[in-house]
Amino acid sequence: MTGSEPKCEIVGLVQRLTELTERQLAAARTLDGESLSKFNQARTDLMFELQIRLDAALPLDHDTQTALVREVETLTLLEARLIRIAGIVSAALNPIAPRQRPATYGRSGALSAR
């Protein structure tokens, strides 16, 4: 294994993260909660792996940095879209959610619905 292979793996991990984010976007658009949950867990695992690999591979050579910056820019745009879609979905579903009044303590000290 050469010294540049682990650094190329970092770029590959960011590319996989970008692919996962695209899948998250598709799942969010179709309100596929099960897939979205699965992709969220995979993303969390991948982010953890990326952090460990980055810590071990620093400093990065110029070519790897350039490739990484390009991939991170793409990922950042996708993440911004995902955040916007999540906000839109949340706003759309908020009026549908049942409005329940919180339980409170009454004069007798018993917990009751309002």
The CATH number linked to 28 is 1.20.58
**Average pLDDT for consecutive 10-residue bins of the chain (114 residues)?**
62 92 90 88 91 82 87 93 85 68 72 63
pLDDT of residue 73: 94
Overall domain count for the chain:
1
Give residues with Cβ within 8 angstroms of 56, minimum separation 6: 6
Contact 45, 38 (CB under 8 A): no
At position 82, the amino acid (one-letter code) is L
Among 9, 82, 5, 90, which Cα is nearest to 43's?
82
pLDDT of residue 6: 59
Range of the structural domain that residue 12 is part of: 4-112
Q: Model-level pTM?
A: 0.68
